[in-house]
Each structure stands twice: as C-alpha cells, then as structure tokens.
Structure 1
C-alpha cells in the first residue's frame, strides 16, 4: 500500500512538469477584451463587473470571488460550506466541451461515462446515482442560471460562454431540493453588459480531426435593454476504429447550438432576465471496446470461437471495435426561462419561471460483434426518449447586513419523460456445426428474429417550501439554520409487447389485448412522500481573512421506481426515499494580503435507504435491480489552494482523501449475494488531486507570452459495483495521472490570443468505465478522449 506521503509526492510530481496550463485559458481574455483574473482549479475571480453588479457584494474587494451558492451574492470566503469554483476559461482549457472536463479540476468530483448522456452520472465525495430507470433521479443536481435541470444528462452538453461553475459539495437540499443529496453543480453563464463587444474563437485538435468554433456578441440595445448572443459548432471523428466499417473512426460527435439572453431594467428596482437556448447533438458515441478475452466466472481465460471476430483485447489500450451497428446518440434540447428580481422595500423578490424540452435517442450494438453467429445472437437496441420540465421558484431575500438575514421561498416542478425502447435479436441453430458459424450460412439456416418493444414513462411532481436564515449574534459570530418541506408525487407506467423469452424479458404482468392478438404487459404505479430536511451550522470569523465553520445537514432524495425495458413483476415495488445526515467542519484562510488562499474541510455523511443497483434473484438468476440497497457512508478531508505570489503568476490546486464505502447492504433473500460491508462505492477514488500553474510574461514588446501546465492524479477506483469479488477486481480502474501543457502569445490589450496545447503529455492510457457482460464473459471498457496524447491550437479574437 502506498503511504500518504508517497501519494502526496506522486500527486505533486504529476504536476511538477508545469512550466507554467489550464493557465492560458486561466488568464484568457474576457469577451470585451479585458484580462480576467487567473482561473484556479478550485477558485477563480469573477469576470469584470460581477462584483460591481452584485447587489449584496458591496464588501467584496477587487479580486474577491463572488458566488451564489446560497442563492444570494456573497464573497466565497464568507460562505460556510465547501465550494469549488471553476472559471469558464479554465473549463475551456480542459479540452473537453462539457462537464466531464471539470472532473480533472475538482478533486471531489467524479464522472461515469456511458453509452448515452441519459445514463451518465456525476459523483461528489464518492456518492452518486447510477441507474437505467426512467423513474430515478440523480444525487448531484445540475443548475444553470438558477434553473434546476431534472435530468443530469441535459447538462452534459457543450459549456460555452460560461462565467463560472460552482461545485457545492455535500447535501444541499435546503436551498436546492431533493435531487441534491450529494451536492450541486451550479453553472452561471456570462451575462449581458452595457458595453458592446464579443469574441470569436476557433480550435483544432489532432487525434480525430476535432474542430470547434464558438463566439458571443454583447449588444446594448438601449441603456436599459441589454442583449447577448452565443453560438457554437463542434465536430470530432472519434478515438476508436470500427473494423466493420473499414476502420471508420467512431466515438466522436457533431454539436451545434446557441443561447440568447436579454436583460431589461424597466426601473431602478426591477430587473428582468430572459434566456433561451437550443442544442442539437449527434454523437456516434460511445461504443465500448472489448478489453479482455473471454473469461469464466473465476476470471480465468477460456477459449471461445467468438474471439475470431473480436479485435485483439489490450485492456485500456484497446482502440478497435468490430460492430455492425454504430452505437450512437441523437439528442436535441431547448428551453427558456424568465427571472424577475424586484426590490420590495429592503427585500428582494425573485421569480424564476422555466420550461425545457429534451429528446434523446440511444442506438446501441448490444452484442459487440459484426453479426449473428450460432451460439452468439445479435442484439440491437433503439430507444428514443422525450421529456419536458416546467418549474417555478419564488423567493424573498433580505439584506445581509442585519441581525437576522434570510432567504425564504416556494418551489414547484413537473418533469415528465417517456421512452419507447425496441430490442431486436437475431439468432440461429446450427446443430452439428463447429467453430464460428454465421447465421444464414449452410448448416445454420434456421434464423429467428425475436423482437420486443416497451413503452414506459414517469411524471415527477414536486412542491416545496424552504427557508435559510443567518442570526448574526456579533459581527464575527453567527448561526446558520434552514429547513425545507417537500412533497413528492411520482407516477410511472410500463407496457411491453414481446416474443423474447428469459428472466427479465418474458411477460410477467396481467396481459390485455393489443388488438393484434399479441399479449401486452402493463404496469402502473404511484407513490407520494412528504419530507422535512434542513441544516444547522455555526460560523466564526477569526478575522476577515480566516473563517471557521461547522455544522449538520439533512439530505433527501425522493422515491423512485425501477422502470426500464426489462421490468418484471418482482421489480414493480416503489423505492423508498433516500436520506442522509452530513457533518462538515472547515477553515477558510486568506494570507499575505490575498496572495494565498487555503481552504480546508473535513466531512462525514451517512446515507440510509441508499438508492443504487443491488443484486437480486429473478427466476433463479441473479440480476441487478435499482432499489434501496442499504446503508453507505463517506468521510474525508479536502484542501483547496490558490497562490498568487506576483501579479502574473498563479498556482492553484486541490487534494481530496475520500473513504466512501458500504456499511450494510440489504439482502432481498437469504441466498441472494450482497456487496460486502467495507466495499468502496463506485467512482470514489481514495486519493485525487490537481495542480495548475499559469504565467504571463509581459515582454514589453508587441506580444506577451503565456505559459501554463496542469496535472491531476487519482488512485484506483471501482467501476463495477458487484457482489462478486472477481467482477469487482476486473472492474477496477487503475490509478493514473495526466499532465497538460500550453503556450501562447497575445497582444498587450488582449485583443487576440493564439494558444498551443498538448493534452496528456505522457500518453497515459486509462478507462473511464468498465462493465462485464461482453462477448463470452469478456469485459467492456469506455475509453475517453483524453486517454491518448493529442495536440491543439486555439485562436481567439476579442472586440
């Protein structure tokens, strides 16, 4: 076992190659041509004007970071909870178009990559929700410009023209609601200003012919009506070769979208913000490579004829598939919101009304080969899903400079989803045949095409009343309390027509005629629940620059159902709500007149009725079901660092130690295997950290030079959450570290910038996820873009 000091040294070494990374983007120019403060992995200064435009930030001095983590604008160092802040330019510098790039910058944040954004998940402090159910909610809430996204997958699109991302760690249910039991990703886009300006940016990356173009223009229509228009287009051929299509690259994408923002101030007391956005994503992603050869239950290699058509397995270095259906996702989404802020005496009334629509079609090769063979059927899936969400929030915010300050509010949301999932299977008999025999060839003439279609959906309705208040006993000592009352209603339905057979597939509900003589299975379910959650903490300002806090938070996630294609009668029970009790203490420090920021936090949280995939028996076969799996807990320590020894040099980073494991898993029957107590939770590395350096060399000539480096390391993590020790061992992602470098030139006034990057300098290969169930007992790997070294160039013009 590697000791604490050894791992700390390894983490430092992974970023010691820093020549100065994320930094070119970290000190990247604002669209109006001004230089933003250096963006740290954990903290960034707001863009010019943010502090000045924040009603409650009068005491935020130049360079202080202003956040809205508690639904009011506050200096980050005054917020009594662990918050990591990433600037939009730092996000761009990660090379990833969406949220997955933030994982390398926030040690407490992890990400499960899947075949479609519908099934991708975020994890904070080792806690997240992985499920294929249409009636299960995430544990990490995604909020964009004050609007809660009902499905985390909606937030995995391109992050363009972003002001900052706030990562709130630990349960945040008091202010953000039921699907924030592990934390919140709060994304704030750049807002319209009174200055005309904008930017145009283009990038090209090797290793798959990746190209991006994005831009924004800020137009003040009148003194009181401001507008901002943002657009983007990006494409990427992919990092995997498909032999069934003559070596065509797959696992790429083509994205297009935009956003329109209007900000109207009809009076000094009222501001109205209207935001509308649209995106369309066509991803031939994410085909899973077969990373191992055929294996038996003990994990030993076996001989199987299917190996003849599978690319040579090379673990996480495998980069080829042989699939006659290109696994892909077709996605389209749009939405609009209107936020009204109005002063009512000394109070501020805020109303946020939002509506969103979302469609996602998953097309998947589920047999991972180039056709049907005797003993190896072909399995193809097609699953279009649609959804819409309406939400309304109304809150009242008091001034902060009084004995009792508060935020009180009401919230309503309705999120409906419907999916039609079709599964086709081609199989054949080949009595007396040997070797690998394709269906339809001599000796294997009897080809069958069983087919199944299921239509299912869910409607979540949520009504809540919430409040959070601060009692300022003295100028330095205060109590923060809060409470939220939530009432949930969840309705689900499921109907399937199928000729398929087998556990989890055959009809198992009362049948009704479909009009064609084919039986259909039908199920309808409903569950309601009321809950009280809240928080209580103390905060003491040792000085303006040193703040200590500690407290308790009760988290809550609402009831669920396990509604998916293979639903059977044994899986129709309602899944009880998940609750958590979390304790956190922290110390926020600013030293040397702001040159050094060091924030420390320690935490412990216990989750009851943990909603997760749990092994169960169906018709004598062990299956995985989304249910109340039992009790889990997480504990650890975190540190965030920002050092600015001189004006043009910034060093930032963070490190997290997390021990997230099973305390006691629920056992449905005496013979059902369970995940043993002490088993690590999935996507919860014990150690994770990042370190970035960026430097601007002011030459005194026509151009300045920008140098940057960013490194991150994480220890091994469990990807396959299974009761079987062999599967857990084979489903473990080894620890790895990545180093990225950048260098650029730009003029003194930041009107243009040309940046060169190398990503994954040491060509460190790794898997983003591992699953069992490949051909003949093999294991499937998700290989991300950053698992290979590649190069890029970005040009930007500000006006």
Structure 2
C-alpha cells in the first residue's frame, strides 16, 4: 500500500506538471516559443540542439518571484538539492542524488561544479551568494568532466551575467517583504564608451532580520546583511578581436547559522535539551527558537577578476583565452553546544582560499564534416584555515585544540570534443580530457590545555582520462534524439577534519553515465517537450557522513553510488494570440548506495538495527538528499489593461516527495514531501519604464528543513537538530522596477 501511494503521488505530480507547467525556456510574446541559446558545450547553441540534460532558469523567472540567491536554484530545477547549514564551508549542491558536502573543504571539493562567467570556482562555499544582473542559469545534469573538468562529476551550475548594452540603459529595483523586514535594492547602469567599448556596472544590497529567536538573551539569529558590485568592460580594439574584463566583489556579515531542536531523546540530558524545554522551547519541525549564550557570526567575502579574449582566426575558427583570479574568505563561529552552558561556546574558524585559472581553447565553425572544441586548462589553488575549538569541561587530549590546515591543488588538463557529421542528420560525438592533479595537505594541531602537539602531512599525484562517446540523430527538423556514455572524474584529496589527528586519504570519484534523450518542438501546437533517461554508477563516491563521536564530527568516506531515472522539460503556449505561457519540468530519480558495506552507523544504532563493529551495510539503500519525485509547475500570463498599462500574473509550484536529509542513512531523518507555491501580480507601463508587483513566496507556509543531524551533546539515541531556511515560511512583499 505504501508503494502504491508513492507511485500514485508521483504520477499525479507528473500529470500536474504536464498539464499546468519551472523555468526551462524563455517566454515569448508572440504565437511561437522562443529559442533558448546556451553555452553548455563551450559554444553558443540552440538548447534543442544540445545532446545533454540542461535546465535553464531565465532572469525573468528570478525577477518575477523576487528570487536572488543561489539557494533558490534547488526550487527551480528538479533533481537538484543542497546542503546549506552552519555556514558557507558546509555548502554543496546535489544533482540526481549525487553530491559532496563536508567541513573538510580545504582538500575535498563538491561534486557539482559552479561556473561564473566561464570561471570554475574551486570552493563550493564561494557559490553561496546572490544572483544579481543574471542573464541565465544553466544546470547541466550528469558528469560534465570532458569540457568542464574539475569537480563536475555530478553536474555543472553555470551562471552567465548580463553583457554591456550597445545603448545607454539604467535600471533600479527595490523590494520589501515580511516577515523579518526583508529589504533589497539593485541598480544597473550600462552603455557604450565610444565606438569600440561598452560597460556595465551593477550594485546591490540585501538585508533582513533574523528569523530564529534566541530565548536566552532575545537575539534574532540567522539574519542577512550582504551586498556587492560587478563591473564589466567589453572592448573591440580591432576587427575580429573582442576582450571582456570582469571584476566583482561580494560580502556578507550575518549572525548565522544556527540550528534548532527537532526531536529529543527519551531521557533528555541536562544540556541542551532539558534546559531548552525548561526555557519554553517546543522541539519539532516548526521550532524556530534556540537557547545559547555564546557568539554566532559568519563573515564572508568573495571576489575576483577575469579577462576573456576571443579572436576570430582564418576559416571561422575562434581562439578563446580566459584568465582569472579569485579569492574566498570566510570567518565564522558558533556556540555549538545548543545550550546556555559553556560546553562548546568557542568553535571558530578562519578560512581563506585563492585560485588562479587559465583556459585556452579553439572552437571550429559548424557545418563541415568535423566540428570541435579543444583546449588546455590550468588550475592552482591554495587553502589555509585556522580553527579554534574549546571544550572547557572535557580534560581529554585534543578536545580543546588550535588547528591549522593547509592544502593546495594543481590541476593540468588538455581536452577536446568533436562531432563527426556523417550526414545532415547523423552525428557521432567523441570527447576526452586528460588530467594530472597534484594535491598536498598539512595539519598542525595543538592542545593549549595539556600542551600537546601533533602534525601530519601528505601529498599525491593522480592521472586520469575522462571521455564521452555518443550519437545524435535528427529524425525531423523539429525532433532530435541522442545516446551518450560518459566517464567522469573528481580528484581525491585528504580529510582535513580537525577532530582527526591524521590526514585520511580520500580516493577519486569516478562516475560512468549513460543517457538517452529526445528533444522535440511542435510549432503548430506552440509546444516544446524534452525527455532524458539516465543511469549512472559512481565508483569511490565521496560521501560526508556524521560520526557520532564523541565528539561528533563529519568524515569523508569512499563508497559506491548509483542513480537512474528520467527528466522532462516543457513549454507550451496553449492559446494562439494570447500571451499565456505554461512551463514545467520534472524528475524521477532512484538514487542508491552501491557496494557500501563499511558505512558508519547512525547515532544510537544497535546491532539489531544493523550496526556491527561501528559499521552498517548500506548496500542498495536509498541515497540521502534525493527525493524520488520532484518537479516545477509555472504559468506566466500578461495582458493589456489599458493603452498605457499592462498587467501580469505569475504562478509557480515546486514539489518533492519524501527524502532522508542526513548522512549516514538514519530512519529518523526522513523528511516528508512538501509543495511550495509562489505567486506574483504586476502592473507595468506599456513602454516598460516602470513596474510594480506584489509577490508571495511559499504561499501556503510550508515548513521544511535542509538537513537533520544528531544534536551536539544531546541524548542518544533520539536527539536531533535541524536547519530550517528562511524560505521555509510564507514571505509576502512588494517591489518596484524602474528603467531609464
């Protein structure tokens, strides 16, 4: 009966999406569906011609619902989830159930690459920012190592920001929302600087009050205060050469990020559970109260500069060079004992990462027997962290410690992908990437209480060959099918967790992915429908699992993962002559552990529950952070109200079925399915010089969490905490947009 209910729920959800309808295609004001251009294969192509599973989020969708954070992507693209708790260092995207999130981020990267204007970011935490002046977001699902290489074993999230305009333009957007007095303001100025130069300058600021109440002293925790700027300069100094300079800076200073009690054990301990209950806190999925006495802060900076030059060679070839430098700095601290006692008030870290990247590639013209993209890539990154952790009541070695971690990664690669056009309709796809990666790490620990020290260091070099093979066939001018097999790779590293004296070796992650896809356009019905089926096996899957301790720490284990399923995206204009667009997407993902007999036990797990020798066998169990069904439904309607006014109505729905939201698998950490509803009503001038909107996010006030974990110092078994995001409540606001 349970399986039958789940099957019916998934079927009904799919029918709802197909009938009503994410954000995969641009909106059109006419009687046709606009084409979408993407750069998923390092060149500009129609989305319908790309033999990959690509979801596209447009700037119009982000603006309609006042969405401006990378965390919003999980509610716009089915099959994408994330961990975002306890600060940026524990941030990570999961695609099709595959992802890595760990505090050992000095050496271990996420499985989903985040690319900003062609530059890959070497740290997952640096992606935790806002989304200003965005042209589009492309989510490439499945291994993308052939062209994107580094840390793209699960997929790629590629953000493309606006280009400078040929004519002078200026925009100003401001919004206010309740609860927590959320304020946002963004300004963009762009235009020409003579005949051979164009510029763009954008700035923004975002603020809101905290949404977690601290009963100990009345503080409002988990607030937001951030802002940044971006500048672009495009030059065409000579014919056939264009150069783009980009510089950006973003900073966040917040009292973030704290969890709340979800469940208590059968015999609550003195700290923190009993004291929290005595203070009036009611543990549960709706709990937005905490009871701590220590400091809570998160100060983050992310900035960088890049230069991209494109030169048109003979016979239509293009030579591209992208040179970039980026810096990510995080200073965070938590009162981690969930109580007003000083059990672990001091748990602070300073984290700094710097990277230099260089990509050089050549792109051939299309239309001949062979067209290709080929190039070379270089990455040099260094990470340094200084951590302080003090357990004043525990006189055991290295419970109180000062730890310095240093890690460096050098990645060299040559790559290429070619299409062999055997006929006008049939193409063969061949791609490869050869990688050499060097990793070094050093850990220095000191116990200031007992005067102890320990040091560990390690280094290694890995060589890998990634590849992609496939075929693509045009059945008609409007229907294309493809079949591909891809071998991916994500480099290994070392577990730098400060609770471990050594540097355990983490092996590389190697996925093999099979895909079948169909891309269809139905002009007479004003309909686009795309389908993709996939099957992936991941050897050496790098999973971060919480070891119950004491003290509880998150370690990185190499297991085996496997995921299979299908995805669809559609856009439909059901009524000719009416500016009404239905858009939607959905995913069915069956993500499971492969051979993983040595997985860690969950807190309090008994031998009868499968814990033998501090290990459990998770072979063929479902992977966490992966709902079986997820989807998006959306509707955009626009009409002329008067000769001078236009009105618009946007409706969005995101759903997902139940999923475990903790490592390792624990039956107590399964979150039920939920549905989020967004809506917006706008009124604008016919010349688009102004627009006022009223919007609502999470209209039905659904409460949900991003992650569950065993409560530090809590009673085991049975004590769990949760991280509830700000968006897990109804948010209602108004915005105004001005264009000059």
TM-score category, normalised to shorter length:
over 0.9
Q: Give 5+ residue unaligned stretches, structure 2.
A: 601-611
Aligned to 2:668: 730
Question: What secondary structure sits across from 2:41 in the alignment?
Answer: coil
Once residues 790 and 796 of structure 1 are traced to their aligned partners in structure 2, the CA distance between those partners, rounded to angstroms, is 19
Which residue does the alignment assign to 1:30? none
1:784 aligns with 2:714: no
Q: CA deviation at 1:677?
A: 1.6
1:675 is displaced (CA, Å) by 4.4
Which residue number in structure 2 is paired with residue 568 of structure 1? 501
Instruction: Give the aligned length.
Output: 717
Q: 1:654 is matched with which residue? A: 585
Verify: 1:188 aligned to 2:160, yes or no.
Answer: yes
Residue 100 in 1 paired to residue 71 in 2? yes
Moved more, 451-460 or 482-491: 451-460
Give the match for residue 161 of structure 1: 133
| Partner residue of 2:557 out of 621, 627, 633 | 627
Q: For 2:325, which of 352, 355, 362 is the aligned residue?
A: 355
Q: 1:787 to 1:303 in 2, by over 3 A?
A: closer
Do the aligned partners of residues 536 and 295 (structure 1) sit closer, same or farther apart at CA in structure 2, a change above 3 Å counting? Answer: farther
1:110 aligns with 2:81: yes
CA-to-aligned-CA distance 1:452-490 (integer Å, 9 cap, x gap): 210112101000000000001111110111000000000
Q: Which residue of 2 aligns with 1:487?
A: 436
> Given the superposition, is the C-alpha separation of residues 112 and 182 from structure 1 closer, same or farther in structure 2, using an over 3 Å criterion?
same
* Structure 1 residue matching 2:55: 3-state secondary structure: strand
Residues in 2 aligned to 1:118 and 1:525: alpha-carbon distance in whole angstroms: 22
Matched with 1:132 is 103
After TM superposition, list the pairs within 5 Å mapping 1:37-52 onto structure 2: 41-44=23-26
d(CA) in 2 for partners of 1:301, 1:424: 19
The equivalent position to 2:334 in structure 1, one of 350, 364, 382, is: 364
Partner of 2:359: 393
1: CA distance, partners of 2:28 / 2:229: 23
Deviation of 1:705 after TM superposition, in Å, equals 1.0
Q: Does 1:558 align with 2:500?
A: no
Distance in structure 2 (CA, Å) of the matches to 1:276 and 1:364: 32
| 1:664 aligned counterpart, secondary structure | coil
| TM-score, reference length from structure 1 | 0.86
Cα distance change on mapping 1:597 and 1:14 into 2, 3 Å: closer
How far apart, CA to CA, are the structure 2 residues paired with 1:615 and 1:741?
Answer: 38
Which residue in the other structure is 2:9 paired with? Answer: 6
* Shift of residue 520, structure 1, vs aligned partner: 2.0
> Which stretches in structure 1 are left out of the alignment for 5+ residues?
21-39, 48-60, 430-447, 502-517
Residue in structure 2 matched with residue 210 of structure 1 by the alignment? 182
Is 1:741 matched up with 2:679?
yes
The alpha-carbon deviation at position 165 of structure 1 amounts to: 0.4
Flag the 1:549–1:568 CA change in 2: closer, same or farther, 3 A: same
Residues 167 and 450 of structure 1, relative CA distance in 2, 3 Å threshold: closer
CA contact (8 A) 2:64 2:650 kept: no
Task: Report the alpha carbon displacement of residue 363 of structure 1 after superposing the two structures with TM.
Answer: 0.7
1:380-423: CA deviation from partner (whole Å, max 9, x where unpaired) = 21101111000000001000111100111000001111000001
The equivalent residue for 2:609 is none
> Which secondary structure state, in structure 1, belongs to the residue aligned with residue 48 of structure 2?
helix
Matching residue of 2:603: none
Once the 2 structures are TM-superposed, how far is the Cα of residue 293 of structure 1 from its aligned partner?
A: 2.2
- Aligned-partner SS, 2:60: helix
Measured at CA, do residues 459 and 682 of structure 1 come closer, stay the same or move farther in structure 2, by a change above 3 Å? Answer: same
Shift of 1:644: 1.8
Equivalent residue number for residue 473 of structure 1: 422
Q: CA deviation at 1:371?
A: 2.2
* Superposition deviation, residue 623 in structure 1: 6.6
1:348-394 alpha-carbon deviations (Å, 9 max, x no partner): 0000000011110111111011223xxxx244211011110000000
Determine if the alignment matches structure 1 residue 74 to structure 2 residue 45: yes
Partner Cα distance (1:86, 1:617) in 2: 39
Structure 1 residue 541 corresponds to structure 2 residue 474: yes
- Helix, strand or coil at the partner of 1:556: coil
Q: Summarize the Cα distance change of 1:300–1:322 in structure 2 as closer, same or farther, 3 Å threshold.
A: closer
How much has 1:795 moved relative to structure 2? Answer: 0.3
Equivalent residue for 1:510?
Answer: none
1:82-481 equivalent positions in 2, closer than 5 A: 82-133=53-104, 134-246=106-218, 248-295=219-266, 305-309=274-278, 311-346=280-315, 347-372=317-342, 377-427=343-393, 451-481=400-430
Question: Is the CA contact (8 Å cut-off) linking 1:648 and 1:697 kept in structure 2?
Answer: yes
Secondary structure in 1 matching 2:229: strand
* Correspondence for 1:798: 739
Deviations 1:76-120 (A, max 9, x none): 000001100001231234444311111111102111121111211
Q: Distance in 2 between matches of 1:528 and 1:370?
A: 47
User: SS at 2:187's partner residue?
Assistant: strand
Using the TM superposition, give the Cα deviation of residue 590 of structure 1 relative to its aligned residue in structure 2, in angstroms.
0.6
Partner of residue 567 from structure 2, selected from 620, 630, 638: 638
Please say if residues 484 and 514 of structure 2, whose CA atoms lie closer than 8 Å, have aligned partners that are also in contact: yes
In structure 2, C-alpha distance between the alignment counterparts of 1:696 and 1:463, rounded to whole Å: 50
Root-mean-square deviation (Å): 2.7
Question: What is the rounded CA distance, in whole Å, between the counterparts of 1:304 and 1:161 in structure 2?
Answer: 45
Preserved contact between residue 12 and residue 691 of structure 1 (Cα < 8 Å): no
Separation in structure 2 between the aligned mates of residue 119 and residue 622 of structure 1, nearest angstrom: 15
Q: Report the alpha carbon displacement of residue 660 of structure 1 after superposing the two structures with TM.
A: 0.4
> Matched residues in 2 for 1:737 and 1:486: separation?
42
Q: Corresponding residue for 1:37?
A: none
Cα offsets for 1:108-153 (capped at 9, x unmatched): 2111121111211101011000211121011000001100010121
Tell me the secondary structure at the aligned position of residue 362 of structure 1: strand
What are the superposed Cα offsets for residues 685-720 of structure 1, whole Å, 9 maximum, x if unpaired? 001011000100212332111111101110111112
- Alpha-carbon distance change, 224 to 675 in structure 1, aligned in 2, over 3 angstroms: farther
